[in-house]
Amino acid sequence: MKTLAVVVTTPPYSPLTVTALSYVETALVAGINVIGVFFYQDGAMHANENISIASDEYQAIAHWQRLQQQYQLPLHICITAAEKRGIACDSIDNEQINQAFTVSGLGELVELTTKATRLVQF
């Protein structure tokens, strides 16, 4: 079976993230097996609970959360990228981290890449 993995490198306030979300949701609706999304570089900012985007703007984080719940879509953040952007990742019940996201390392990116038929970066 063909599998898809996605890498997101853009922050939650970027219009490029909207494209990534539309792409992933379209794939999920089409029944494609999306094995995970890996948030690298500024993408790690998605897991920051303190980010607040004006309510009349696109709520990227809420949409990722929805896809995670609806499709059990794994959302991995890179711990190194997150920590240097002010998201402390030292404990599991950390209030700074959005619980929809799993704190992972770059090893998870290796895992996703080797398992995926196709890898798409945003």
Catalytic machinery residues:
78
Taking the complex as a whole, the smallest distance from the CB of residue 49 to another protein amounts, in Å, to: 23
**Residue 85 to residue 113: CA distance in whole angstroms:** 24
Among 7, 24, 60, 82, which residue interacts with another protein (rule: CB under 8 A)?
Answer: 7
Contact map string, positions 29 to 48, toward another protein, x by CB under 8 A: -----------xx-------
Task: Indicate whether 19 belongs to the interface with another protein (CB under 8 A).
Answer: no
CA distance 52 to 121: 25
For residues 89 and 109, which CB has a smaller minimum distance to another protein in the complex?
109
Size of the site for another protein (CB under 8 A): 16
Residues 6+ apart with CB under 8 A from 39: 7, 8, 9, 46, 47, 75, 76, 77, 78, 81, 101
Q: Which of residues 81-100 bind another protein (CB under 8 A)?
A: 81
Residue numbers of the site for another protein (CB under 8 A)? 7, 40-41, 80-81, 105-107, 109-110, 113-114, 116, 118-119, 121
